[in-house]
Chain A
Amino acid sequence: MSGRRAALAFWLFVGPFAAGLLAFTYVPIGWSAYLSFFDARNTVTPTEFVGLGNYADVLTDRAFLDSIGTFTVFAAFVIPTTVVLALALALLVNQVRVARAFFRSVFFLPFACSYVVASLVWKMSLFSGVDSGVANTALGWFGGQPQAWVGTVDPPLYWVVLVTARLWLQLGFYMILFIAALQRIPAHLYEAAWTDGASPRWQTFRHVTLPGLRGALVAVLTLNLINAYQAFDEFYNILGDSRGYPPFARPPLVYLYYTSLGSGGQDLGRGSAGAVVLALVIALATLLSGRVLRRAG
Protein backbone atom coordinates (compact mmCIF):
# COMPACT_ATOMS: atom_id res chain seq x y z
CA MET A 1 0.00 0.00 0.00
CA SER A 2 1.42 3.35 -1.05
CA GLY A 3 1.88 6.14 1.49
CA ARG A 4 -0.87 8.26 -0.02
CA ARG A 5 -3.41 5.43 -0.04
CA ALA A 6 -2.55 4.58 3.55
CA ALA A 7 -3.04 8.22 4.52
CA LEU A 8 -6.42 8.29 2.81
CA ALA A 9 -7.56 5.04 4.47
CA PHE A 10 -6.31 6.24 7.85
CA TRP A 11 -8.22 9.52 7.72
CA LEU A 12 -11.37 7.79 6.48
CA PHE A 13 -11.32 5.74 9.68
CA VAL A 14 -9.94 8.29 12.14
CA GLY A 15 -11.05 11.56 10.50
CA PRO A 16 -14.62 11.83 11.86
CA PHE A 17 -13.49 11.24 15.42
CA ALA A 18 -10.43 13.48 15.08
CA ALA A 19 -12.54 16.35 13.73
CA GLY A 20 -14.91 16.05 16.69
CA LEU A 21 -12.09 15.87 19.20
CA LEU A 22 -10.61 18.99 17.64
CA ALA A 23 -13.92 20.86 17.75
CA PHE A 24 -15.10 19.77 21.19
CA THR A 25 -11.88 19.29 23.16
CA TYR A 26 -8.97 21.17 21.58
CA VAL A 27 -10.92 24.26 20.49
CA PRO A 28 -12.65 24.66 23.90
CA ILE A 29 -9.34 24.34 25.71
CA GLY A 30 -7.69 26.87 23.40
CA TRP A 31 -10.64 29.24 23.54
CA SER A 32 -10.78 28.98 27.28
CA ALA A 33 -7.08 29.73 27.59
CA TYR A 34 -7.72 32.80 25.38
CA LEU A 35 -10.74 33.93 27.43
CA SER A 36 -8.75 33.62 30.62
CA PHE A 37 -6.72 36.68 29.55
CA PHE A 38 -9.77 38.84 28.84
CA ASP A 39 -12.60 40.52 30.66
CA ALA A 40 -15.28 38.08 29.52
CA ARG A 41 -18.31 38.86 31.64
CA ASN A 42 -21.46 37.65 29.86
CA THR A 43 -19.67 37.32 26.52
CA VAL A 44 -17.66 34.70 24.65
CA THR A 45 -16.05 37.19 22.25
CA PRO A 46 -14.39 39.66 24.61
CA THR A 47 -12.34 42.69 23.55
CA GLU A 48 -10.77 43.92 26.76
CA PHE A 49 -7.40 42.28 27.42
CA VAL A 50 -6.62 42.05 31.13
CA GLY A 51 -3.40 40.03 31.05
CA LEU A 52 -3.06 37.87 34.14
CA GLY A 53 -5.82 39.78 35.93
CA ASN A 54 -8.25 36.85 35.99
CA TYR A 55 -5.54 34.55 37.33
CA ALA A 56 -4.68 37.04 40.06
CA ASP A 57 -8.40 37.31 40.90
CA VAL A 58 -8.84 33.54 41.09
CA LEU A 59 -5.68 32.84 43.06
CA THR A 60 -6.48 35.54 45.63
CA ASP A 61 -10.16 34.55 45.77
CA ARG A 62 -10.83 33.09 49.19
CA ALA A 63 -13.64 30.94 47.72
CA PHE A 64 -11.31 29.38 45.15
CA LEU A 65 -8.71 28.42 47.74
CA ASP A 66 -11.50 27.11 49.97
CA SER A 67 -12.67 24.90 47.11
CA ILE A 68 -9.23 23.28 46.96
CA GLY A 69 -9.45 22.84 50.74
CA THR A 70 -12.91 21.24 50.44
CA PHE A 71 -11.59 18.84 47.81
CA THR A 72 -8.66 17.93 50.06
CA VAL A 73 -10.95 17.14 53.01
CA PHE A 74 -13.31 15.15 50.78
CA ALA A 75 -10.43 13.18 49.21
CA ALA A 76 -8.93 12.51 52.66
CA PHE A 77 -12.26 10.96 53.76
CA VAL A 78 -13.16 9.15 50.56
CA ILE A 79 -9.95 7.74 49.09
CA PRO A 80 -8.58 5.67 52.01
CA THR A 81 -12.02 4.32 52.96
CA THR A 82 -12.76 3.40 49.34
CA VAL A 83 -9.48 1.54 48.88
CA VAL A 84 -9.77 -0.41 52.15
CA LEU A 85 -13.47 -1.26 51.85
CA ALA A 86 -13.36 -2.11 48.12
CA LEU A 87 -10.42 -4.42 48.74
CA ALA A 88 -12.18 -6.00 51.72
CA LEU A 89 -15.32 -6.63 49.66
CA ALA A 90 -13.25 -8.08 46.81
CA LEU A 91 -11.43 -10.47 49.18
CA LEU A 92 -14.70 -11.53 50.83
CA VAL A 93 -16.51 -12.11 47.54
CA ASN A 94 -13.51 -13.89 46.06
CA GLN A 95 -13.25 -16.32 48.99
CA VAL A 96 -16.89 -17.16 49.53
CA ARG A 97 -17.96 -20.46 48.02
CA VAL A 98 -21.73 -20.10 47.98
CA ALA A 99 -23.75 -17.31 46.34
CA ARG A 100 -20.64 -15.53 45.10
CA ALA A 101 -22.41 -14.11 42.02
CA PHE A 102 -25.27 -12.85 44.21
CA PHE A 103 -23.00 -10.90 46.57
CA ARG A 104 -20.95 -9.51 43.71
CA SER A 105 -24.12 -8.25 41.99
CA VAL A 106 -25.46 -6.68 45.18
CA PHE A 107 -22.28 -4.69 45.78
CA PHE A 108 -21.96 -3.75 42.13
CA LEU A 109 -25.59 -2.70 41.56
CA PRO A 110 -25.26 0.87 42.97
CA PHE A 111 -22.72 1.61 40.21
CA ALA A 112 -25.69 1.70 37.83
CA CYS A 113 -27.55 4.24 39.99
CA SER A 114 -27.18 7.95 39.30
CA TYR A 115 -25.66 10.38 41.78
CA VAL A 116 -28.88 12.39 41.62
CA VAL A 117 -31.03 9.45 42.73
CA ALA A 118 -28.57 8.52 45.47
CA SER A 119 -28.53 12.14 46.69
CA LEU A 120 -32.30 12.08 46.81
CA VAL A 121 -32.46 8.89 48.88
CA TRP A 122 -29.67 10.05 51.20
CA LYS A 123 -31.08 13.53 51.75
CA MET A 124 -34.79 12.77 51.95
CA SER A 125 -34.80 9.40 53.65
CA LEU A 126 -31.60 7.88 55.03
CA PHE A 127 -30.23 11.11 56.51
CA SER A 128 -33.35 13.22 56.66
CA GLY A 129 -33.48 15.41 59.74
CA VAL A 130 -36.82 14.04 61.00
CA ASP A 131 -36.85 11.59 63.92
CA SER A 132 -38.14 8.79 61.71
CA GLY A 133 -35.22 9.11 59.26
CA VAL A 134 -33.26 5.88 58.88
CA ALA A 135 -30.00 7.21 60.39
CA ASN A 136 -31.83 8.90 63.26
CA THR A 137 -33.78 5.70 63.99
CA ALA A 138 -30.52 3.77 64.11
CA LEU A 139 -29.02 6.44 66.39
CA GLY A 140 -32.04 6.08 68.66
CA TRP A 141 -31.37 2.36 69.16
CA PHE A 142 -28.04 3.31 70.71
CA GLY A 143 -29.52 6.11 72.77
CA GLY A 144 -28.29 8.91 70.50
CA GLN A 145 -30.10 12.19 69.83
CA PRO A 146 -31.62 12.72 66.36
CA GLN A 147 -29.45 14.93 64.13
CA ALA A 148 -30.25 17.32 61.29
CA TRP A 149 -27.35 15.78 59.25
CA VAL A 150 -27.34 17.91 56.08
CA GLY A 151 -28.17 21.01 58.10
CA THR A 152 -25.55 20.35 60.78
CA VAL A 153 -22.41 22.44 60.34
CA ASP A 154 -20.82 22.16 63.77
CA PRO A 155 -19.66 19.39 63.86
CA PRO A 156 -19.87 19.14 60.03
CA LEU A 157 -22.14 16.09 59.87
CA TYR A 158 -22.94 16.79 56.21
CA TRP A 159 -19.63 15.08 55.41
CA VAL A 160 -21.10 11.79 56.70
CA VAL A 161 -23.94 12.15 54.20
CA LEU A 162 -21.68 13.10 51.26
CA VAL A 163 -19.02 10.46 51.93
CA THR A 164 -21.37 7.52 52.56
CA ALA A 165 -23.35 8.34 49.40
CA ARG A 166 -20.19 8.26 47.29
CA LEU A 167 -18.96 5.08 48.98
CA TRP A 168 -22.22 3.32 48.23
CA LEU A 169 -22.14 4.45 44.61
CA GLN A 170 -18.53 3.63 43.76
CA LEU A 171 -17.33 0.78 46.03
CA GLY A 172 -18.72 -1.89 43.67
CA PHE A 173 -16.83 -0.47 40.72
CA TYR A 174 -13.50 -0.62 42.52
CA MET A 175 -14.36 -4.03 43.99
CA ILE A 176 -14.76 -5.37 40.43
CA LEU A 177 -11.31 -4.02 39.55
CA PHE A 178 -9.79 -5.70 42.60
CA ILE A 179 -11.57 -9.00 41.88
CA ALA A 180 -10.23 -8.98 38.31
CA ALA A 181 -6.72 -8.34 39.64
CA LEU A 182 -7.06 -11.05 42.33
CA GLN A 183 -8.02 -13.60 39.71
CA ARG A 184 -4.95 -12.73 37.66
CA ILE A 185 -2.59 -13.77 40.48
CA PRO A 186 -1.25 -17.19 39.46
CA ALA A 187 -2.30 -20.04 41.79
CA HIS A 188 1.22 -21.49 41.83
CA LEU A 189 2.46 -18.43 43.76
CA TYR A 190 0.09 -19.31 46.61
CA GLU A 191 1.10 -22.97 46.51
CA ALA A 192 4.78 -22.01 46.64
CA ALA A 193 4.12 -19.73 49.64
CA TRP A 194 2.35 -22.50 51.59
CA THR A 195 5.14 -24.94 50.76
CA ASP A 196 7.57 -22.39 52.18
CA GLY A 197 5.51 -22.37 55.39
CA ALA A 198 3.72 -19.02 54.99
CA SER A 199 0.69 -18.69 57.28
CA PRO A 200 -2.50 -19.08 55.23
CA ARG A 201 -3.86 -15.66 56.19
CA TRP A 202 -1.59 -12.74 56.97
CA GLN A 203 1.73 -13.89 55.48
CA THR A 204 0.14 -15.11 52.27
CA PHE A 205 -1.75 -11.83 51.97
CA ARG A 206 1.34 -9.76 52.69
CA HIS A 207 3.75 -11.59 50.38
CA VAL A 208 1.56 -12.90 47.55
CA THR A 209 -1.79 -11.10 47.35
CA LEU A 210 -0.69 -7.53 48.05
CA PRO A 211 2.26 -7.52 45.60
CA GLY A 212 -0.04 -9.04 42.98
CA LEU A 213 -2.48 -6.15 43.42
CA ARG A 214 0.04 -3.37 42.92
CA GLY A 215 -1.16 -2.41 39.43
CA ALA A 216 -4.80 -2.42 40.52
CA LEU A 217 -3.97 -0.31 43.60
CA VAL A 218 -2.31 2.34 41.44
CA ALA A 219 -5.32 2.34 39.08
CA VAL A 220 -7.84 2.54 41.93
CA LEU A 221 -6.01 5.38 43.69
CA THR A 222 -5.58 7.40 40.51
CA LEU A 223 -9.18 6.97 39.33
CA ASN A 224 -10.41 7.74 42.82
CA LEU A 225 -8.37 10.94 42.99
CA ILE A 226 -9.59 12.17 39.59
CA ASN A 227 -13.21 11.30 40.39
CA ALA A 228 -13.13 13.00 43.79
CA TYR A 229 -11.66 16.09 42.14
CA GLN A 230 -14.62 16.21 39.76
CA ALA A 231 -17.25 15.77 42.46
CA PHE A 232 -20.29 17.88 41.70
CA ASP A 233 -23.56 15.94 41.50
CA GLU A 234 -23.95 14.89 45.14
CA PHE A 235 -22.73 18.22 46.53
CA TYR A 236 -25.14 20.17 44.32
CA ASN A 237 -28.12 17.94 45.06
CA ILE A 238 -27.55 17.19 48.74
CA LEU A 239 -26.42 20.61 49.96
CA GLY A 240 -28.30 22.83 47.49
CA ASP A 241 -31.98 23.66 47.91
CA SER A 242 -34.53 26.27 46.89
CA ARG A 243 -32.54 28.95 48.70
CA GLY A 244 -29.44 28.14 46.66
CA TYR A 245 -26.14 26.61 47.73
CA PRO A 246 -24.53 27.28 51.12
CA PRO A 247 -21.32 29.33 51.10
CA PHE A 248 -19.26 26.44 52.49
CA ALA A 249 -18.38 22.95 51.19
CA ARG A 250 -17.94 24.02 47.58
CA PRO A 251 -15.55 21.68 45.79
CA PRO A 252 -13.76 22.99 42.65
CA LEU A 253 -16.50 22.20 40.14
CA VAL A 254 -19.23 23.70 42.32
CA TYR A 255 -17.09 26.82 42.62
CA LEU A 256 -16.57 26.93 38.85
CA TYR A 257 -20.26 26.37 38.20
CA TYR A 258 -21.35 29.27 40.37
CA THR A 259 -18.53 31.56 39.16
CA SER A 260 -18.95 31.10 35.44
CA LEU A 261 -22.54 30.02 34.97
CA GLY A 262 -24.36 30.81 38.18
CA SER A 263 -27.04 33.40 38.77
CA GLY A 264 -24.45 35.90 40.03
CA GLY A 265 -23.59 36.74 36.42
CA GLN A 266 -21.48 34.81 33.97
CA ASP A 267 -17.81 35.64 34.40
CA LEU A 268 -16.33 33.35 31.76
CA GLY A 269 -12.87 34.92 31.88
CA ARG A 270 -12.52 34.19 35.56
CA GLY A 271 -14.16 30.78 35.17
CA SER A 272 -11.72 29.92 32.40
CA ALA A 273 -8.74 31.00 34.48
CA GLY A 274 -10.07 28.81 37.29
CA ALA A 275 -10.47 25.87 34.90
CA VAL A 276 -6.89 26.28 33.63
CA VAL A 277 -5.51 26.36 37.18
CA LEU A 278 -7.59 23.34 38.24
CA ALA A 279 -6.52 21.36 35.17
CA LEU A 280 -2.87 22.07 35.99
CA VAL A 281 -3.38 21.10 39.64
CA ILE A 282 -4.97 17.74 38.82
CA ALA A 283 -2.43 16.94 36.08
CA LEU A 284 0.38 17.63 38.54
CA ALA A 285 -1.29 15.62 41.32
CA THR A 286 -1.89 12.65 39.02
CA LEU A 287 1.67 12.65 37.74
CA LEU A 288 3.13 12.97 41.23
CA SER A 289 0.92 10.32 42.83
CA GLY A 290 1.61 7.92 39.94
CA ARG A 291 5.35 8.43 40.34
CA VAL A 292 5.29 8.09 44.14
CA LEU A 293 3.11 4.95 43.99
CA ARG A 294 5.27 3.29 41.36
CA ARG A 295 8.41 4.03 43.35
CA ALA A 296 6.84 2.79 46.59
CA GLY A 297 5.94 -0.47 44.86
Chain B
Amino acid sequence: MRPPGYHRTPAGRVGAVARWAALVVAAALFLLPFAVLVRDGLGTGWSTAAEVFSGEEIPFARSLLNSTVVAVLQTAGQLLLCSLAGYGLARVPYRHAPLVLRAIVATLMVPTAVTFVPSFVVVSSLGWLSDLRGLVVPGLFSALNVFLFRQYFLDFPVSLEEAGRLDGLSRWGVFRRVVVPNSTGFFAAIAVIDFIGSWNQFLWPLVIAQDSSTWTVQVALSSLLTAQNPKIALLFAAAAVSILPIVLVFALLQRYLVRGVTETGLTG
Protein backbone atom coordinates (compact mmCIF):
# COMPACT_ATOMS: atom_id res chain seq x y z
CA MET B 1 0.00 0.00 0.00
CA ARG B 2 0.99 3.59 -0.55
CA PRO B 3 -0.15 6.81 1.18
CA PRO B 4 -3.00 8.60 -0.62
CA GLY B 5 -1.68 10.94 -3.31
CA TYR B 6 1.76 9.26 -3.25
CA HIS B 7 1.47 8.19 -6.89
CA ARG B 8 1.30 11.85 -7.93
CA THR B 9 4.62 12.75 -6.30
CA PRO B 10 7.80 12.57 -8.47
CA ALA B 11 9.08 9.54 -6.53
CA GLY B 12 5.70 7.91 -6.89
CA ARG B 13 5.63 8.51 -10.67
CA VAL B 14 9.11 7.05 -11.18
CA GLY B 15 8.10 4.07 -9.08
CA ALA B 16 4.95 3.49 -11.12
CA VAL B 17 6.85 3.57 -14.42
CA ALA B 18 9.55 1.26 -13.09
CA ARG B 19 6.90 -1.17 -11.85
CA TRP B 20 5.18 -1.20 -15.20
CA ALA B 21 8.44 -1.84 -17.02
CA ALA B 22 9.30 -4.69 -14.64
CA LEU B 23 5.86 -6.25 -15.02
CA VAL B 24 5.90 -6.09 -18.81
CA VAL B 25 9.37 -7.64 -19.04
CA ALA B 26 8.45 -10.36 -16.55
CA ALA B 27 5.19 -11.10 -18.38
CA ALA B 28 7.05 -11.43 -21.69
CA LEU B 29 9.50 -13.89 -20.12
CA PHE B 30 6.65 -15.92 -18.60
CA LEU B 31 4.78 -16.12 -21.90
CA LEU B 32 7.87 -16.99 -23.97
CA PRO B 33 7.72 -20.78 -23.32
CA PHE B 34 4.05 -20.87 -24.32
CA ALA B 35 4.82 -18.88 -27.46
CA VAL B 36 7.57 -21.38 -28.34
CA LEU B 37 5.19 -24.27 -27.72
CA VAL B 38 2.53 -22.81 -29.99
CA ARG B 39 5.04 -21.80 -32.68
CA ASP B 40 6.84 -25.14 -32.84
CA GLY B 41 3.82 -27.27 -32.00
CA LEU B 42 1.01 -25.88 -34.07
CA GLY B 43 2.98 -23.60 -36.39
CA THR B 44 3.97 -26.51 -38.59
CA GLY B 45 0.33 -26.95 -39.50
CA TRP B 46 -2.36 -29.36 -38.53
CA SER B 47 -0.75 -32.18 -40.47
CA THR B 48 1.86 -32.64 -37.74
CA ALA B 49 -0.82 -32.65 -35.07
CA ALA B 50 -2.71 -35.24 -37.11
CA GLU B 51 0.47 -37.29 -37.47
CA VAL B 52 0.82 -37.35 -33.67
CA PHE B 53 -2.54 -39.06 -33.40
CA SER B 54 -2.06 -41.49 -36.25
CA GLY B 55 1.68 -42.06 -35.85
CA GLU B 56 3.17 -45.40 -34.90
CA GLU B 57 5.69 -43.68 -32.59
CA ILE B 58 3.52 -43.82 -29.49
CA PRO B 59 -0.14 -44.59 -28.66
CA PHE B 60 -0.84 -40.88 -28.21
CA ALA B 61 -4.64 -40.87 -28.56
CA ARG B 62 -4.82 -43.79 -26.14
CA SER B 63 -2.61 -41.94 -23.66
CA LEU B 64 -4.89 -38.89 -23.78
CA LEU B 65 -7.86 -41.13 -23.07
CA ASN B 66 -6.01 -42.80 -20.18
CA SER B 67 -5.08 -39.44 -18.68
CA THR B 68 -8.67 -38.23 -18.94
CA VAL B 69 -10.05 -41.36 -17.27
CA VAL B 70 -7.44 -41.25 -14.51
CA ALA B 71 -7.87 -37.52 -13.82
CA VAL B 72 -11.68 -37.66 -13.79
CA LEU B 73 -11.88 -40.77 -11.60
CA GLN B 74 -9.21 -39.49 -9.24
CA THR B 75 -10.83 -36.08 -8.86
CA ALA B 76 -14.32 -37.49 -8.31
CA GLY B 77 -13.07 -40.19 -5.94
CA GLN B 78 -10.99 -37.77 -3.88
CA LEU B 79 -13.88 -35.31 -3.56
CA LEU B 80 -16.24 -38.05 -2.39
CA LEU B 81 -13.93 -39.86 0.04
CA CYS B 82 -12.22 -36.79 1.47
CA SER B 83 -15.35 -34.67 1.91
CA LEU B 84 -17.11 -37.52 3.73
CA ALA B 85 -14.15 -38.11 6.01
CA GLY B 86 -13.69 -34.39 6.62
CA TYR B 87 -17.35 -33.99 7.53
CA GLY B 88 -17.30 -36.95 9.90
CA LEU B 89 -14.21 -35.59 11.62
CA ALA B 90 -15.69 -32.10 11.90
CA ARG B 91 -19.22 -32.94 13.02
CA VAL B 92 -19.73 -36.42 14.49
CA PRO B 93 -19.11 -36.37 18.28
CA TYR B 94 -17.18 -39.64 18.39
CA ARG B 95 -14.89 -40.25 21.35
CA HIS B 96 -11.85 -41.33 19.34
CA ALA B 97 -12.23 -38.75 16.55
CA PRO B 98 -9.20 -36.70 17.73
CA LEU B 99 -7.05 -39.82 17.66
CA VAL B 100 -8.17 -40.68 14.12
CA LEU B 101 -7.52 -37.11 13.02
CA ARG B 102 -4.00 -37.31 14.44
CA ALA B 103 -3.35 -40.59 12.62
CA ILE B 104 -4.45 -38.95 9.35
CA VAL B 105 -2.50 -35.71 9.81
CA ALA B 106 0.64 -37.63 10.82
CA THR B 107 0.90 -39.04 7.28
CA LEU B 108 1.34 -35.47 5.98
CA MET B 109 4.80 -35.57 7.55
CA VAL B 110 5.78 -38.36 5.17
CA PRO B 111 6.30 -36.87 1.71
CA THR B 112 4.16 -38.81 -0.78
CA ALA B 113 6.97 -39.23 -3.27
CA VAL B 114 9.27 -40.84 -0.71
CA THR B 115 6.63 -43.56 -0.29
CA PHE B 116 6.64 -44.42 -3.96
CA VAL B 117 8.89 -47.45 -3.56
CA PRO B 118 6.77 -49.00 -0.77
CA SER B 119 3.54 -48.10 -2.63
CA PHE B 120 4.95 -49.74 -5.73
CA VAL B 121 5.55 -52.88 -3.67
CA VAL B 122 1.92 -52.95 -2.48
CA VAL B 123 0.46 -52.21 -5.91
CA SER B 124 2.59 -54.81 -7.64
CA SER B 125 1.61 -57.48 -5.12
CA LEU B 126 -2.03 -56.64 -5.80
CA GLY B 127 -1.32 -57.35 -9.45
CA TRP B 128 -2.17 -53.78 -10.41
CA LEU B 129 0.89 -52.98 -12.55
CA SER B 130 -0.07 -51.70 -16.01
CA ASP B 131 -3.63 -51.53 -14.74
CA LEU B 132 -6.05 -48.64 -14.40
CA ARG B 133 -6.64 -49.53 -10.74
CA GLY B 134 -2.93 -49.16 -9.98
CA LEU B 135 -2.93 -45.68 -11.57
CA VAL B 136 -6.09 -44.41 -9.87
CA VAL B 137 -6.71 -46.05 -6.50
CA PRO B 138 -3.53 -45.31 -4.48
CA GLY B 139 -3.89 -41.58 -5.26
CA LEU B 140 -7.42 -41.33 -3.88
CA PHE B 141 -6.55 -41.02 -0.22
CA SER B 142 -5.28 -37.49 0.27
CA ALA B 143 -4.76 -36.67 3.93
CA LEU B 144 -4.29 -33.01 3.01
CA ASN B 145 -7.71 -32.86 1.36
CA VAL B 146 -9.36 -34.47 4.40
CA PHE B 147 -7.71 -31.91 6.64
CA LEU B 148 -8.84 -29.03 4.39
CA PHE B 149 -12.42 -30.33 4.21
CA ARG B 150 -12.50 -30.71 8.00
CA GLN B 151 -11.31 -27.12 8.51
CA TYR B 152 -13.90 -25.92 6.01
CA PHE B 153 -16.78 -27.87 7.60
CA LEU B 154 -15.85 -26.64 11.09
CA ASP B 155 -16.67 -23.14 9.85
CA PHE B 156 -19.88 -24.20 8.09
CA PRO B 157 -22.92 -22.45 9.68
CA VAL B 158 -24.42 -24.91 12.20
CA SER B 159 -27.79 -23.14 11.98
CA LEU B 160 -28.25 -24.40 8.39
CA GLU B 161 -27.57 -27.96 9.49
CA GLU B 162 -29.96 -27.66 12.44
CA ALA B 163 -32.70 -26.40 10.13
CA GLY B 164 -32.16 -29.53 8.03
CA ARG B 165 -32.42 -31.74 11.11
CA LEU B 166 -35.71 -30.04 12.07
CA ASP B 167 -37.00 -30.86 8.60
CA GLY B 168 -36.44 -34.50 9.49
CA LEU B 169 -33.23 -35.11 7.53
CA SER B 170 -30.77 -37.73 8.78
CA ARG B 171 -27.12 -36.88 9.27
CA TRP B 172 -26.39 -38.21 5.80
CA GLY B 173 -29.40 -36.27 4.45
CA VAL B 174 -28.09 -33.05 6.00
CA PHE B 175 -24.69 -33.63 4.38
CA ARG B 176 -26.15 -34.42 0.96
CA ARG B 177 -28.99 -31.91 0.81
CA VAL B 178 -27.76 -29.00 2.94
CA VAL B 179 -23.98 -29.03 3.34
CA VAL B 180 -22.82 -30.09 -0.15
CA PRO B 181 -25.16 -27.79 -2.14
CA ASN B 182 -24.00 -24.85 -0.04
CA SER B 183 -20.31 -25.67 -0.48
CA THR B 184 -19.97 -25.90 -4.26
CA GLY B 185 -17.32 -23.17 -4.36
CA PHE B 186 -15.06 -25.06 -1.97
CA PHE B 187 -15.62 -28.37 -3.76
CA ALA B 188 -14.77 -26.69 -7.07
CA ALA B 189 -11.55 -25.25 -5.62
CA ILE B 190 -10.38 -28.66 -4.40
CA ALA B 191 -11.51 -30.32 -7.65
CA VAL B 192 -9.53 -27.98 -9.88
CA ILE B 193 -6.34 -28.53 -7.87
CA ASP B 194 -6.85 -32.30 -7.86
CA PHE B 195 -7.58 -32.45 -11.59
CA ILE B 196 -4.50 -30.47 -12.58
CA GLY B 197 -2.33 -32.46 -10.18
CA SER B 198 -3.65 -35.72 -11.52
CA TRP B 199 -3.27 -34.73 -15.19
CA ASN B 200 0.29 -33.54 -14.66
CA GLN B 201 1.63 -36.30 -12.38
CA PHE B 202 4.56 -38.20 -13.83
CA LEU B 203 6.57 -40.39 -11.43
CA TRP B 204 3.70 -42.64 -10.33
CA PRO B 205 2.36 -43.44 -13.82
CA LEU B 206 5.97 -43.87 -15.03
CA VAL B 207 6.45 -46.59 -12.43
CA ILE B 208 3.02 -48.24 -12.72
CA ALA B 209 2.14 -47.99 -16.42
CA GLN B 210 4.83 -50.32 -17.73
CA ASP B 211 2.80 -51.44 -20.73
CA SER B 212 2.43 -48.68 -23.34
CA SER B 213 -1.34 -49.27 -23.58
CA THR B 214 -1.70 -47.87 -20.05
CA TRP B 215 0.59 -44.85 -20.51
CA THR B 216 -0.75 -41.47 -19.47
CA VAL B 217 -0.05 -38.49 -21.69
CA GLN B 218 2.90 -37.35 -19.54
CA VAL B 219 4.57 -40.77 -19.81
CA ALA B 220 3.94 -40.79 -23.56
CA LEU B 221 5.50 -37.32 -23.95
CA SER B 222 8.47 -38.35 -21.84
CA SER B 223 9.09 -41.44 -23.94
CA LEU B 224 9.07 -39.27 -27.09
CA LEU B 225 11.42 -36.79 -25.44
CA THR B 226 13.96 -39.36 -24.22
CA ALA B 227 13.83 -41.44 -27.41
CA GLN B 228 16.71 -41.64 -29.85
CA ASN B 229 16.64 -38.69 -32.30
CA PRO B 230 13.33 -37.25 -31.09
CA LYS B 231 11.22 -35.69 -33.86
CA ILE B 232 10.99 -32.09 -32.74
CA ALA B 233 7.85 -31.07 -34.63
CA LEU B 234 5.98 -34.16 -33.48
CA LEU B 235 7.14 -33.62 -29.91
CA PHE B 236 5.95 -30.04 -29.74
CA ALA B 237 2.63 -30.80 -31.42
CA ALA B 238 1.99 -33.55 -28.85
CA ALA B 239 2.97 -31.25 -25.97
CA ALA B 240 0.71 -28.47 -27.25
CA VAL B 241 -2.24 -30.86 -27.48
CA SER B 242 -1.50 -32.21 -23.99
CA ILE B 243 -1.79 -28.82 -22.28
CA LEU B 244 -5.02 -27.79 -24.04
CA PRO B 245 -7.41 -29.35 -21.45
CA ILE B 246 -5.44 -27.77 -18.60
CA VAL B 247 -5.32 -24.34 -20.22
CA LEU B 248 -9.09 -24.62 -20.68
CA VAL B 249 -9.59 -25.52 -17.02
CA PHE B 250 -7.32 -22.62 -16.08
CA ALA B 251 -9.14 -20.11 -18.26
CA LEU B 252 -12.61 -21.09 -17.10
CA LEU B 253 -11.99 -21.90 -13.43
CA GLN B 254 -9.10 -19.67 -12.42
CA ARG B 255 -11.16 -18.14 -9.61
CA TYR B 256 -11.52 -21.56 -7.96
CA LEU B 257 -7.92 -22.43 -8.69
CA VAL B 258 -6.70 -19.33 -6.86
CA ARG B 259 -8.92 -20.21 -3.91
CA GLY B 260 -7.72 -23.81 -3.94
CA VAL B 261 -4.07 -22.75 -4.03
CA THR B 262 -4.56 -20.33 -1.17
CA GLU B 263 -6.36 -22.95 0.94
CA THR B 264 -3.85 -25.73 0.28
CA GLY B 265 -0.81 -23.49 0.55
CA LEU B 266 -1.56 -21.46 3.62
CA THR B 267 -3.59 -23.96 5.66
CA GLY B 268 -1.41 -27.04 5.15
A115 to B204, CA, bound (A): 14
- Residue pair A32, B81 in contact (C-beta under 8 Å): no
Q: Verify A261–B110 contact, CB threshold 8 A.
A: no
The reply to whether A89 and B26 form a contact with Cβ atoms under 8 Å apart is: yes
Alpha-carbon distance between A215 and B262 when the two chains are bound, in angstroms: 13
Q: Is A247 an interface residue (CB 8 A)?
A: no
Q: Contact at A219–B117, with CB atoms within 8 Å?
A: no
Complex CA distance for A12 and B88, rounded to whole angstroms: 8
CA distance A232 to B218 in the complex (A): 13
Interface membership of B23, Cβ < 8 A: yes
Interface presence of B114 (CB below 8 A): yes
Question: How many of chain A's residues touch chain B, expressed as a range?
Answer: 35 or more
CB within 8 A of B30: which of A21, A126, A168? Answer: A168
Q: How many residues from B make CB contacts under 8 Å with A?
A: 94
A18: chain B residues at CB < 8 Å are: 85, 100, 104
Partner of B22, one of A28, A92, A173: A92
Q: Chain A contacts of B81 at CB under 8 A?
A: 16-17, 20
A98 CA to B82 CA, complexed, in Å = 40
Q: Is the pair A116, B92 in contact by a Cβ cutoff of 8 Å?
A: no
Find out whether the CB atom of B88 lies under 8 angstroms from the CB atom of A13: yes
B23 pairs with A93, CB closer than 8 A: yes
Among A3, A11, A27, A113, the most chain B Cβ lie within 10 Å of the Cβ of: A113
Question: Are A268 and B3 in contact, CB atoms less than 8 angstroms apart?
Answer: no
Which candidate, B44-52, B54-62, B181-189, B247-255, is the interface stretch facing chain A? B247-255
**A-to-B contact residues, CB < 8 Å:** 1, 3, 6-7, 9-14, 16-18, 20-21, 23-29, 31-32, 35, 44-45, 89, 92-93, 95-96, 103, 105-126, 134, 168, 172-174, 176-177, 180-181, 187, 190, 194, 200-201, 204, 215-216, 219-220, 223, 226, 229-230, 232-233, 236-237, 240-242, 252-253, 256-257, 260-261, 268, 271-272, 274-275, 278-279, 282-283, 286
